[in-house]
């Protein structure tokens, strides 16, 4: 019988695990103002932004297209607008999508709650929804840009009826990926928002939207589209206090599980053009622009072993053929 080796003399085998975390940093609202357009390009060329989504009905669409053409490394998707905007389709062809009884009958619903109620009750014509989404995607494609992915203004595609329209439109237009609008549960510990009452409303809304998570993943997979594991930055963006976005973001990223995630951001310049618009995101856009180009954030991501990728790389890494 072999002599047993004392435990103090036994070799120790260390098990090393490597975290695999990839992050798509997507800037929304490309095409809204020239200051936002400029900030998105700056945060890509000198920062960590890897993708953006373009508003086909944005006031500064042409300026955004010009900038995107000169920055081919930036993945450009379509920021589908179905609330708080104007249709790209002829207005008479999308009458169920418009707030006909409002002061602006040619516009979409400006209230997210009114839009959500109509979407939940099936008040939108499904063919009109698909036609409008296709029109927005085609406008970007016709400008000579590859549409690498889709998302929606105010995350409207969390609602099943809107999601179904986006999935159909994506297949029609050959778009391969779509934003997963669900915030991971690990990014939602209530302790992160303690003492921040201005964030509790959005925190509660995001928790409620988790009820749609299973449906979203099932339908997206059935449609053959790619989607990240979840989204970050929905609650944090627009944080009022100075440094609030940076502090919350760092805490969220530090606890990020393995997988591929998307960080939603809204860099911009709080200039006269932006101040003339009806938006709550003003000073916060300046703060996000500075953070996204900071050496501190890049160092933090390196220390956390978080790899930045764009939606184009995300789709290519799947090894699947387009739908």
Q: Nearest 5 degrees, angle CA 290-CA 207-CA 117? A: 100
CA atoms within 13 A on the CB side of 115: 24
The answer to whether 33 and 271 have CB atoms below 8 angstroms apart is yes
pLDDT of residue 201: 55
pLDDT above 90 (res 127): yes
pLDDT given at position 8? 41
Kindly report, residue by residue over 268-296, the tens digit of the pLDDT.
999 999 999 888 788 889 999 999 999 99
- With pLDDT > 70 as the criterion, what percentage of the chain qualifies? 80
Half-sphere exposure at residue 278, Cβ-oriented, CA atoms within 13 angstroms: 4
Per-residue confidence (pLDDT) for residue 85, from 0 to 100: 93
Least confident of 135-139, 173-177, 198-202, 244-248: 198-202
| Cβ proximity of 163 and 219 under 8 Å | yes
Q: Look at residue 257 in the predicted model and tell me its pLDDT.
A: 84
What is the reported pLDDT for 206?
60
3-state DSSP of the chain: CCCCCCHHHCCCCCCCCCCCEEEEEEEEEECCCHHHHHHHHHHHHCCCCCEEEECCCCCCHHHHHHHHHCCCCCEEEEEECCCCCCCCCCHHHCHHHECCCCCCCCCECCCHHHHHHHHHCCCCCHHHHHHHHHHHHHHHHHCCCCCCEEEEHHHHHHCHHHHHHHHHHHHHHCCCEECCCCCCHHHCCHHHHCCCHHHHHHHHHHHHHHHHHHHHHHHHHHHCCECCCCEECCCCCCCCCCCHHHHHHHHHHHCCCCEEEEEEECCCCCCHHHHCCCCCCCHHHHHHHHHHCCHHHHHHHHHCCEEEECHHHHHHHCCCCCC
Token readout for 9 is 């003399």
Cα→Cα distances 155→244, 275, 307, Å: 22, 23, 25
pLDDT at 158 over 50: yes
- CA-to-CA distance for 142 and 146, rounded, in angstroms? 9
pLDDT (0 to 100) of residue 281: 82
Q: Is the pLDDT of residue 14 over 50?
A: no
What is the rounded average pLDDT for all residues in the chain? 85
Report whether pLDDT(15) > 90. no
Query: Facing residues of 77 across strands?
Result: 53
Q: Strands 51-54, 149-152: parallel, antiparallel or unpaired by DSSP? A: unpaired
pTM score of the predicted model = 0.86
């Amino acid at each position: 019988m072999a002599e047993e080796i004392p435990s103090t003399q036994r070799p120790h085998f260390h098990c090393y695990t490597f975290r695999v975390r990839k992050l798509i940093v997507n800037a929304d609202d490309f095409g809204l103002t020239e200051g936002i357009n400029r900030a998105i390009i700056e945060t890509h060329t000198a920062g960590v932004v890897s993708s953006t989504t373009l508003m086909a009905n944005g006031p500064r669409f042409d300026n955004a297209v010009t900038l995107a053409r000169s920055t081919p490394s930036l993945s450009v998707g379509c920021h589908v607008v179905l609330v708080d905007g104007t249709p790209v389709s002829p207005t008479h062809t999308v009458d169920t999508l418009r707030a006909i009884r409002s002061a602006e009958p040619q516009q979409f619903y400006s209230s997210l709650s009114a839009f959500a109620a109509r979407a939940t009750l099936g008040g939108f014509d499904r063919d009109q929804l698909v036609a409008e989404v296709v029109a927005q995607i085609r406008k970007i494609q016709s400008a000579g840009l590859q549409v690498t992915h889709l998302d929606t203004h105010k995350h409207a595609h969390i609602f099943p009826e809107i999601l179904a329209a986006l999935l159909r439109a994506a297949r029609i237009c050959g778009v391969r990926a779509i934003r997963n609008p669900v915030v991971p549960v690990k990014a939602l510990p209530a302790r992160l928002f303690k003492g921040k009452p201005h964030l509790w409303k959005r925190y509660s809304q995001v928790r409620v939207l988790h009820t749609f998570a299973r449906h979203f993943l099932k339908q997206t997979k059935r449609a053959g589209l790619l989607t990240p594991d979840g989204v970050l930055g929905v609650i944090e963006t627009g944080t009022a206090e100075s440094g609030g976005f940076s502090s919350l973001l760092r805490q969220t990223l530090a606890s990020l599980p393995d997988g591929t995630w998307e960080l939603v951001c809204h860099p911009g310049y709080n200039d006269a053009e932006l101040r003339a618009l009806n938006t709550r995101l003003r000073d916060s856009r300046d703060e996000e622009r500075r953070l996204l180009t900071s050496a501190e954030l890049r160092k933090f991501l390196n220390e956390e072993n978080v790899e930045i990728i764009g939606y184009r790389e995300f789709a290519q890494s799947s090894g699947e053929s387009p739908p």
